[in-house]
Amino acid sequence: MTTTSTTITRAGDLRRVPWRNGQGMTTEIALGGDPDDFGWRVSLAEVARSGDFSPFPGIDRIIVLIEGAAMTLHLPGHTQVLRPDEPFGFDGGVPVRCTVEQPTRDLNVMTRRGVARATLDVRVLAEDAPPVVVPASGTVVLVVLDGTVRLAPGTTLETGDVAVGDEPVVLSGVARVAVARIESAEAG
């Protein structure tokens, strides 16, 4: 990912919108397609209290808790405790209720089934560690969760900043970074 093919969005320029069900707020990070009929979407949700998730039929969803001690998801026939930086995938169309003891924030990657698929992980960068190389794989969305990240060759991202591109990227600095990779469902 070079600066010529990368879109950088600073934290203060990201748009906040209400959840579909009106029970919370989401910060839109990146979007593939129309907001009402997206192929993929990356967003950051603020969960102030326990409640229902908005349903997204036909959408595969990956969620990772990025702030807060824990969140419990109650899905049909299954309960999942989310811990920080551990992604969990599920069908966005099933009814989900979450319980939290205190406000949390989570990052979501949603892909329309049959159109796109995604992976999501959280990387920790340390100043004296080797740079992290993220290979090209469709669209790469980087979200700086906290700290400072340097993208070779020379772009610096701070907490909340986002980079979206389609080429390999080399990351260094001292930070926690969410890395979502989104591919066409036909790729592979």
What residue ranges define each of the domains in the chain, with the CATH number in brackets? 15-113 (2.60.120.10), 117-184 (2.60.120.10)
Buried b / exposed e over 115-136, threshold 16 CB at 10 Å, is bbbbebebbebeeeeeebebee
Instruction: Give the model's pLDDT for residue 59.
Output: 96
pLDDT for the residue numbered 4: 45
Spans in the chain with pLDDT lower than 50: 1-4
| pTM metric for this prediction | 0.91
Tens of pLDDT, residues 42-81: 999 999 899 999 899 999 999 999 999 899 999 999 999 9
pLDDT at 153 (0 to 100): 72
Other C-beta atoms closer than 10 Å to the C-beta of 68 total: 17
